[in-house]
Amino acid sequence: MAAHIKPLILHAHATGPNPIKIAIALEALNIPFTVKNWDFGDDPQKGVKGETFLKINENGRVPALEDPNTGVVSWESGACMNYVRRVYDNGNKIGPSGPSAQDLVDFEKWEYFLLTTLGPMMGQVNWFRHYHHQENKDALERYVAQAYRCYDVLEKQLQKSEGMSILPGRITAVDYHYEPWVRQHEFAGLSLEKYPMIHKWLTLMHTREEVQEAYIKIRNASKG
């Protein structure tokens, strides 16, 4: 199939976690793609808040995904992931692990938990630990506690598969959503000491070819 597909264009950032999820999914499905990395900032040519990129994503954030095969442009990692699954995962390699209504809901609830809760909480931890213009201990403590609360929930879920995958049965796009965020735990100053299942799962994810290839592609990408 891949031979007939024109490469998709993934708009990304060298270290931001959200675009990496999409790169991992495209690798898993063997879909050709090129990566353009953008800076965080408003440089008109290179920045995610600059006029060039805002024509692709008016929200000024990565990922954005352009598909020259269909003309479709998507942004928000959840929308990009679901586009990729709908159009390119006909064999359901990375979608819900079973066909029942409960399987579909399980997939979506864990996907949304990352998109609405774990990811944003970790994002705020990073913000108040590294980037806020002045120290704000209360805010940092609040978001660290929230991030650990999410880790508690994830740890319990991973116990069901002995740390093999977030949805018991096999690795899915849900794991791809979580990997780049959980991988950043050290940067966020969060410890996995009390989370043996998360640690095991993350170690396993690091060994997977689609994950390794995605990081290589993002690291070696040209600037937008």
Ligand X SMILES: N[C@@H](CCC(=O)N[C@@H](CS)C(=O)NCC(=O)O)C(=O)O
Report the interface residues with ligand X, using CB under 6 A.
Answer: 13, 16-18, 40, 48-49, 60-63, 76-78, 115
Question: Shortest approach of ligand X to residue 9 CB, angstroms?
Answer: 16
Nearer to ligand X, 42 or 103 (CB): 42
Q: Do residues 198 and 135 touch, judged by C-beta distance below 8 A?
A: no
**Between 41 and 189, CB nearer to ligand X:** 41
**Half-sphere exposure of 159 toward its Cβ, with a 13 Å CA cutoff?**
6
Number of other residues whose CB lies within 10 A of the CB of residue 112: 12
CB of 91 to ligand X, least distance (A): 25
Q: Give me the least distance between CB of 126 and ligand X, in Å please.
A: 10
**CA angle 48–54–58, rounded 5-degree value:** 110
Q: Which residue, 128 or 163, has its beta carbon nearer to ligand X? A: 128
- Nearest residue to the partner ligand X, using Cβ: 16
Q: Provide the minimum distance between the beta carbon of 122 and ligand X in the complex, in angstroms, as a whole number.
A: 11
Sheet holding 64-67, edge to edge: 72-75, 64-67, 8-12, 33-37, 222-223
